[in-house]
Chains A and B, each alone.
Chain A
């Protein structure tokens, strides 16, 4: 994993400042969605070899949730976005 993460709010920061939640490629289903949708969301993962997106929390920095898009094989980082913006909402 890269040792420095480019936070959109704080600039280049050491990886230890972040907490990793997991895949940002799964979307939370509606409360009334069926068991299969919830099973998919809570437990099943694509776990790709290559490009993936994850929720990272900049716990020791701006404390914003970020979406880090990176590569699970060569560890390159493609983009880091504020999670609110990544979802298309305001910051």
Chain B
């Protein structure tokens, strides 16, 4: 069904008892042209664009748990296109443009809110680095503005501008960046894909990959064997596990990233703000809770819970940036498992098997990528050629020496 003001009005009159489920719960068919493993944001977006843009119809998405149980429902909802490197920035700008039209495209309210993303700087060197990055953003067609201290003070008067160690000197602002309701992204894509005939099969874990010689013929799952013409892995956080089913070793470590929500407060933070001196970023949800986080804990983990030392560190950094936060109570915290790659950038590529495709390595930043990752992965699967904004995300870039290392941290997954 298409949502409209009228349908909301009529359903309200009948006590909201007649809404239909937004997608079917089909039993798996014996064979699909394309099977996508992982019903997160990326897997669902891939199915949606495969069906809608690339005309592939016989598609299944296999999700081991319930839809939205992975990182798509655990992230801090930030979208932006403020990268420096050429391999990255055009891709993220493509993604931001897709976000701007997404709700109209799939007729679902995802609460896309372009409230601006501000990265604070604290030194001359950091300002110069942000100037350079802002120029790279402008060159890619994105927006960027360099703010000085007074500009930032007008926006966020309660920051600690005169912090003895990390005084705030200004910031790099991308006004088109912002936040999106993450669950609604999963639901919107799921609903859209389902309407185009995609089978979304929940509680169906892939446990094996069947091959005849070099070709993948299907997958073993907890709901039986399912045949496929093409197999696409999109299992963020568990990419090494699913890739190993095809004998593939990845330049990836799985790490836990934590996030937090405070008690509800009156509106006071209008933007997304990141602390340039520490591991902290924050925005305020429409319900009033502050949504914040920091860096990964730093050790390999498949457990979706983090360490208290990181909780303390994030809180300390937050209070250093906004002293008033010391009076606020944290309501909830949680963790998600993310693929950390050896250069901090993702992989959208073919593999050593001709009909096995891989979308992996999204680190802590793959939510903003959801529309473009889905589109570009669909392009690769349908046409066997990379989309023009995703040509750098090759798996063999590590062997060739063409790393995309935004942070310049080297082959050390926990430093990206």
Contacts and interface: CB of A to CB of B under 8 A. Distances in A.
A52 B300 contact: yes
B303 interface: yes
B251 A1 contact: no
A68 to B, nearest CB: 9
Contacts of B240: 45-48
Interface stretch (B76-84, B141-149, B362-370, B408-416): B408-416
Given A35-B399, A39-B399, A45 B307 contact: no
Interface in A6-52: 14-16, 20-23, 35, 39-40, 42-49, 52
A50 B252 CA distance: 16
Contacts of B413: 22, 45
B302 A45 contact: no
Interface string A39-74: 110111111110010100000000000000000111
A42 B239 CA distance: 19
A60 B308 CA distance: 18
Contact of B301 (A22, A23, A45, A75): A75
B119 to A, nearest CB: 26
A15 B414 contact: no
Interface residues of B, number: 27
Given A22-B412, A35-B399, A43-B411, A73 B253 contact: no
Contacts of A72: 254, 300-303
Interface string B287-304: 000000000011111110
A14 B250 contact: no
Contacts of A43: 251, 342, 398, 411
Nearest to A46: B249
The residue among A1, A14, A72, A74 with the most chain B CB atoms within 10 A of its own CB is A1
A59 to B, nearest CB: 13
Interface of B: 238, 240-241, 249-254, 297-303, 306-309, 342, 398-399, 411-414
Given A1-B299, A42-B411, A45-B413, 11 more contacts: A15-B309, A16-B309, A20-B299, A43-B342, A44-B251, A45-B249, A46-B240, A47-B252, A47-B254, A47-B300, A75-B303
Which 10 interchain pairs have the tightest Cβ spacing?
A47-B240, A43-B251, A43-B398, A44-B249, A16-B309, A1-B307, A43-B342, A73-B302, A49-B302, A42-B411
Interface of A: 1, 3, 14-16, 20-23, 35, 39-40, 42-49, 52, 54, 72-75
